[in-house]
Structure formats: C-alpha cells, structure tokens
Amino acid sequence: MLVLANMNKLILIRKEILAACFFVLAVSSFGEEVKLKSDDLFRVDHLMEIDVKMLPSDWEKLRKESDRSNASMSRIFGSGASSGNRFNLYKAEISIDGTIIKNIGIRAKGFIGSLNPERPSLKVKFDEYVDQSPIQGLDRLTLNNNVQDVSLASQFLTYKLFNKAGVPAPRVSHCKVTVNGEYLGIYSHVESVRAPFIKKRYQKYSGELYEGTISDFYPIAVENIEAKNSYTKKNRTLSKELAEVLETKEGFNLDEVKKYINLEKFVRFWAMESLLGFWDGYTNNQNNYYAYSNPNDQKRFHFIPWGADGAFTKDRGPFSRFGGEQDQPRSVYSQSMLANRLFQTDEVQALYRKTMIDILKNVWNENEIIDDINRIQALTRTHLHSRQNRLDEGVDKLITFVESRRSDIEPELDEWPVRVQNGPRIPRHSVKVGELIGNFKTKWENERIRNVSGIGKTDLELNLNGKKITLSELGSVGQPEEIRRWFGGRSSGRSRVPSPTITLQGLSEDDEKELTVVLAVNRNDFKSNEDSVSFRGSLSLRDLDGDQEGDAFRRFMSMKSLEGELKLTEAGMNEGDAVVGKLRMEVKESRGGFNFGNRGRRR
C-alpha cells in the first residue's frame, strides 16, 4: 500500500510539473506576462536603463535608415517615394530596468533634425511578432535621441505644462539607452499617442485620429494629414468637412467651426504653443500635432501636442525669414488654417487674451520650471554621451527664455488686439504638372559621373504644364547616390552606404536648360525584376549659365517629384553591369508649405 501511495504521489507531482510546463509554454507562445505598469516608466526621480539586443546586421540597417536622405526632406517639399515605408522593423530583445521583454519590434524614427545614424531615435512595438502586453497601459515605447533638445528638458517641460493647463499631453521620463553594448546616451522616453493614451484621456478610441506633419485642414491638402487608427483610414469625413468650412468662399462662419472643434480647448492649446515658443507645432508650422474627434464631445476635434524638442524658442524657426514672419507678435502664432482664421473674429481674440492671462497666472510659474530644469540636469549630467556636449548651452538658453517670457507676452496683452499679418500658410501639397515616359539601356559605374549625356541609349518623352519638351543629348547611367547634408546638419562621423540610382540627363532644345532625373532605389530591389520597384524620384531643369552655388537652395526648392512605375529588366552594382529598364511617371510640383511666395500664402 505504501509503495502504491508513493507511486500515486509521484504521478500527481509529474502531472503538476507537466501542467506548469504547459503554462510556461503557453505564456511564451502568446508573449510576456505583464510585469510593469506604465507609471513605473514615467518616474521623474529615476533614470531608466534601456538595454537592447539585436542582430548586429539589423542594427546597422536600422542606423542607415535614420539618415536625412530617407525621404524626410521629400515629405516637406512635396517629393515622395513611389511606395514603401521610411523605416523597417527589426526583431530584438529589450531590458527595461532589468525586466527583459523578448520578441519586440524596433525601428528608427524621426524627421529631418532628429535623424541621426550614430544615435537614432527609436520606436519599440511590443506586439509586432507575438501577442504580448508586457507593460500595463503602454503598447510601445518612443525613445527620442534629444539631438534637438540639447537641454534635455524641452520635451518634459512642454508636455508637463500642457497637462497642467488642462490640455492632454504625453508623459515624459529620461533614460540611458544601450544597444548591443554600445552606449547611446540620455534619451527622452515619450508616451506615444495611440490607443492606451486616447482611452485614458478620452475614454473612447472610436473617433478620427490624425497626426499632422507639415499638413493642415485645407481642402486640397487635408489627405496629407496621416490617419493613425483603422477607423480613420476608412473614414476621414470630419477632417474633410472641417477643411471645407475653413476654406468656404461665402465668408468665415465661426458657429460652423464650433461644430468641429472644441473652441475653448483649442484656444488653450494654441495659447500654450505660443507661450512656449513651440515654433515647430501646429499653429506656427502646421507640424507636430495630433487631432482627435472626441466621441464624448460631439465628435469635436481636440488637439494634442507632439514633437516638442524645439520649444522654448523666441523666433519662429529657421524658415521664418523666408516667409516674412519676423515682425509677427510673440503672443500669437497664426500660420495654421485654424489659428489664422479664428483670430480674424472679435470673439476669439477676446477668448485668446483671457486664456493667455489665465495661463500666465495659474500655469506659468518660473520658479517651478527652473526647479525642474535643475533637477533634470542633476539627474542626467554624469551620464551624457560624448555627442551630448551642449547641455550647459541649452540649459542657459532655456532658463533665459523662461525668465524673460512673461515680459515678452504681457505688453502685447496690454495693447490688445495685436495685428496678425498675412493669411494662413497653404499647407504642403503636390499637384500633377506633367508626365515622363521612357526607357534606358546603360551600365553601372562605381564612381559618380556629373555629366551623363551621351552615355548608353536613352529615350525620354517629357510634358510639362501642357507643353511637350523636346530633348537632345540624352544619356543615362547607374551610379551610387550623391550623399547630401541637408541644411548643414552635423556629420555623425559614420559613413552611410549610398543607395543605387539611375541618373538620366538631357538638354531642352527650346531654352537649353539641363534636365536631370534621379531615381533612387533600395539596394535590395536593384536587380533584374519583372515587377515594378519602389523608388524616390526627382526631376530638375537648370540654367547652364546660372550661379550654381548661390542658386543651390532655389534650385532645390524648384525640384519636382516623380511618382509612378519603374521596371528594371536588368540591374547590378558591379562595375560595368547592365542597367536596363523603362519608366512611366507623373511629374509633380510641391505647392504651399515651405515653398514660399504666392503659392505658399493665402490672403
């Protein structure tokens, strides 16, 4: 009996062990169990430690994607890739203060100024490869490299002050980031504006959610505002209706606009952007914002700030001198459709002044802000990356702004209303201006060639603005992409493998302008292929006798984009390899946005 009892006990133990093993396997199949809460990741008194491990080859690919050639400039000036994402996700493992989460997706992120292949900003998605929710209240991480936020405090302060003012904004903490044993420095961990954020602040996630990047509520450009949830991708009704109301030819109707936005909430958001010197936000630059049609507020839009690493700036940003914005008031930003239209009404002018006075009294506390700056400095100073060598400069500039901002704003409130010049800036959009059709049969050159006329066999048909352009001296070549440093950006000291390009050139017989077409292709796609390949395409016409150095910016601004079909029947990147293909493309020109002049300003 004793032996039998022991055997039964052993069988029971084995069953329990098997059940436990099955549970562990089940958990690992569906993902990591919840181990952290979102509040754990936003402690202001703690420097979080992030350690990422991934394939070294994937890390190098990710870094190369965080380069300013990666279509970010195209998004500003209207050029665009034919298809494909700017950034690819890679599989990795992440440790957050020692808690390990496996099978996560990680990619580069950023836009122009924050792109950096040495220290890329990072986006982490937990459920990309397995169904897991390892952090309660967060479904992803956004890790900003602070390349533009040299004080390490702009993002934290901006969002804290928005929240204090009653405008929902992301939470921010600071962290040390290491990837594959390489320390990248102090990053800002910013709460992502996705389902968990929206549900926490607005209870429901069934409204239209948009992210604006150099885009605005203007009828011919509203489609450029990016839909951020599945509902919005299928239904953009409210954004289109708001755009039509703002652009109505019958005169501006404030009561109609109130049906689409919560006016008091928007004016509070607007006043905060202006007070904080957030030049790269919605009301001044039609950039860095989310808009959500709140189901609990008659589906009216509420605005959420984003991308605040460039706040606390007294001027209106690096492009203001081109748009004639130097003499605009400091207390009111007014380039966006909503801000400029609304400020034309007496009711909104009065509400704006009342709101700004309230914010200065109840939100803007200089001593509290400076205490936060000093706390962040003490928390991070001994953990900086060698590239983060401008902390003192950034902190001094930030404190100077905080101490003087009240005296910048209050005199204008005393002389109210201030005068807002010009109309809203027409947001960036592209219009079709022509067609390009042709074929080429040429070869690959390892060294770049400036003048490719006469090389290979090339046929092109170009129509621009309804006129056929007769071309001569045609030529083409496959060659490495020309690496540019946009707007004098600092070199990371890290070489980037250039994309393969097809360069086509010719001479316009009517006015003897040089035509240059550049088609940049992903390295993995540059091969013989029966299908169309994605590409980034540009077309330019330049005077051969012009000042090439002095006119560089003007020529860049006049560059046209190409969208359509490119097929490579033969392609290779070894010296002398055949490069053969054909193309059929629309020629598009960017209007509005940073393309200054009459096209960029609505009066």
Task: Please list, in sequence order, all residues whose beta carbon lies within 8 angstroms of the beta carbon of residue 272, skipping any fewer than 6 positions away.
Answer: 161, 162, 165, 167, 278, 305, 359, 363
CA 513 to CA 492: how far, in whole Å?
Answer: 36
Q: How far is CA 310 from CA 57, 146, 285, 289, 365, in A?
A: 32, 10, 12, 13, 20
Specify which residues 480 forms β-bridges with: 500
The angle at the Cα of 197, spanning 196 to 200, to the nearest 5 degrees, equals 85
Count of CB atoms within 10 A of residue 224's CB?
A: 21
Instruction: Scan for tokens 């007014």, then name that residue.
Output: 334
Q: Which residue in 78, 62, 183, 19 sits closest to 433, CA to CA?
A: 78
CA 515 to CA 535: how far, in whole Å?
Answer: 19
CA 277 to CA 369: how far, in whole Å?
Answer: 15
- Quote the pLDDT of residue 82: 41
The angle at the Cα of 305, spanning 77 to 62, to the nearest 5 degrees, equals 60
Please check whether residue 341 is in contact with residue 309, taking contact to mean a CB–CB distance below 8 angstroms: no
Mean pLDDT by 10 residues, the chain (603 residues): 48 48 41 76 98 98 73 49 69 98 95 82 97 95 96 98 99 99 98 97 97 94 95 96 89 95 99 98 97 98 97 81 69 96 97 99 99 98 97 97 98 96 85 97 96 96 96 97 59 65 95 94 91 94 66 63 97 97 96 57 49
- Quote the pLDDT of residue 428: 83
Please check whether residue 215 is in contact with residue 224, taking contact to mean a CB–CB distance below 8 angstroms: yes
Specify which residues 561 forms β-bridges with: 538, 588
- What element of type H or E holds 219? none
CA 307 to CA 289: how far, in whole Å?
Answer: 8
Q: Burial, 500: exposed, middle or buried (Cβ in 10 Å; 0-12, 13-18, 19+)?
A: buried
Task: Please list, in sequence order, all residues whose beta carbon lies within 8 angstroms of the beta carbon of residue 485, skipping any fewer than 6 positions away.
Answer: 68, 491
Q: How far is CA 72 from CA 111, 213, 433, 579, in A?
A: 6, 10, 22, 27
Q: Burial, 45: exposed, middle or buried (Cβ in 10 Å; 0-12, 13-18, 19+)?
A: exposed
Q: Burial, 119: exposed, middle or buried (Cβ in 10 Å; 0-12, 13-18, 19+)?
A: buried
As a dihedral over the C-alpha atoms of residue 30, residue 31, residue 33, residue 38, rounded to 10 degrees, the angle is -130
Tokens of 245: 């109301």
Q: What is the DSSP string of 351-367?
A: HHHHHHHHHHHHT--HH
CA 597 to CA 603: how far, in whole Å?
Answer: 12
Buried b (16+ CB within 10 A) or exposed e, 563-601: bbebebebbbeeeeeebbbebebbbbbbbbbbbbeeebb
Calculate the CA 174 to chain-centre distance: 21
Give the gyration radius of the chain's Cα atoms.
Answer: 27
Amino acid at 38: S
- What element of type H or E holds 340? helix 337-342
3-state DSSP assignment of residue 341: helix
End-to-end CA distance of the chain: 99
Tokens of 19: 């059940």
Please check whether residue 463 is in contact with residue 434, taking contact to mean a CB–CB distance below 8 angstroms: yes
As a dihedral over the C-alpha atoms of residue 244, residue 248, residue 252, residue 255, rounded to 10 degrees, the angle is -50
Count of CB atoms within 10 A of residue 351's CB?
A: 18
394 phi, psi to nearest 5 deg: -65, -40
- Quote the pLDDT of residue 35: 79
